[in-house]
Amino acid sequence: MSLLESALTPDPDWSRGGGEIVVVDDSALEPEAGPLGTIKEFDKLPASDKISLYVVRKGDTLSEVARMFEVTVNTIVWANDLRKATDIKEGQLLVILPITGVRHTVEKGETLQGLAKKYHGDLEEIIQFNDLAPSATLAVGDVIIIPDGEVATPPTTAGAAPRVIRGGGPSYAGYYLRPIRGGTRTQGLHGYNGIALATAAGEPIYAAAAGRVIISKSSGWNGGYGNYVVIEHNNKTQTLYAHNTSNLVSVGQAVVQGQIIGYVGSTGKSTGPHVHFEIRGAKNPF
């Protein structure tokens, strides 16, 4: 049986599956992943920070879909809040996130608790993501992924320039509206060219530019984003708004700049009410 191939089009044919929805140019971001966006380390870095949509076809298995997108099965399970790897059916729309977290090869004497502490990860998330039993003993050579794990950054030498995380792509001055009114930027560029804008829960979230809604998730963990919306714009970039308490728009809906698309919340992996705002394919001016 021949391997599946993903369709690389911004407007996929839902009847046959596949479809890339995010394109980032060759000026890539720093190697990092996840909505909180700490520096990551991989044995093999993903080619880009793509989010993909895939419609399950008859006979598909998660392992085949994972191999097609070069991610782990648990990455798909995690992003779509599936109870188990067999919980897919023909016609189901899957969100495929890139591999997130630190990828670690187990050495002699290491434990799950020790890895959670080393990389500042959450033990329960590590167990769930890697499909392990709480009492599992690690073997030398096992590969463990620590969701949202952090790798200690080596101290800079005297005179060395500090590492600055910047998003790749062109700068569209004046194209994007700030997604909330007022509030405070509590975290600069992180994740996939995202920033954190904190304000009171329930405050409106505004579309940064006119476009079409391509993802609207109103429940679930969703890889840490919680409730989130992705809009594709006329300049072929996308914006993402995460941790919402609720969404007001649905997939396929056209929106205008400044339209209320949801309300600020703290869903998913969030430490308080804020909107995690990403621009994919262009520099984030905020």
Q: Which residues contact 274 (CB under 8 A, 6 or more apart)?
A: 183, 186, 196, 197, 198, 199, 243, 264, 266
- Phi, psi at 94, each rounded to 5°: -110, 140
Average pLDDT value for residue range 220-236? 88
Q: What pLDDT is stored for residue 150 in this prediction?
A: 66
Please check the confidence at residue 78 and state whether its pLDDT lies above 60. yes
User: Residue 211: its pLDDT value, please?
Assistant: 95
Contact between 169 and 22 under an 8 Å Cβ cutoff? The reply is no
Higher pLDDT among residues 112 and 166, named by residue: 112
What count of other Cβ atoms lies within 10 Å of the Cβ of residue 15?
A: 8
210: how many CB neighbours lie within 10 A of its CB?
16
Q: How does residue 161 score in pLDDT terms, banded at 50, 70 and 90?
A: very low
More confident: 227 or 125: 227
Considering the entire predicted model, what is its pTM?
Answer: 0.60
Token pair, residue 45, equals 């870095």
Report the mean per-residue pLDDT for the chain.
75
pLDDT of residue 151: 64
d(CA 40, CA 32): 5
What pLDDT is recorded for position 99? 57
Contact by Cβ (8 Å): 82, 88: yes
3-state secondary structure of 1: coil
Tell me what the mean pLDDT of segment 240-260 comes to.
Answer: 96
Domains of the chain as residue ranges with CATH: 102-146 (3.10.350.10), 184-280 (2.70.70.10)
Q: How confident is the model at residue 163 (pLDDT cuts 50, 70, 90)?
A: very low
Quick one: how far is CA 81 from the chain centroid? 14
CA distance 72 to 195: 27
Nearest of 212, 170, 226, 180 to residue 11 by alpha carbon: 212
Q: pLDDT tens, 118-149?
A: 887 888 878 877 778 888 889 888 878 787 66
Q: How many CB atoms lie within 10 A of CB 20?
A: 19
Amino acid at 189: L
Question: Percentage of the chain surpassing pLDDT 90?
Answer: 29
Given a cut of 90, whether residue 8 has pLDDT beyond it is no
pLDDT-derived band at 156, boundaries 50, 70, 90: very low
Res 152: pLDDT? 58
Q: What does the angle CA 71 – CA 90 – CA 232 come to, to the nearest 5 degrees?
A: 60
Higher pLDDT, 38 or 6: 6
> Which residue bears the tokens 């989130």?
228
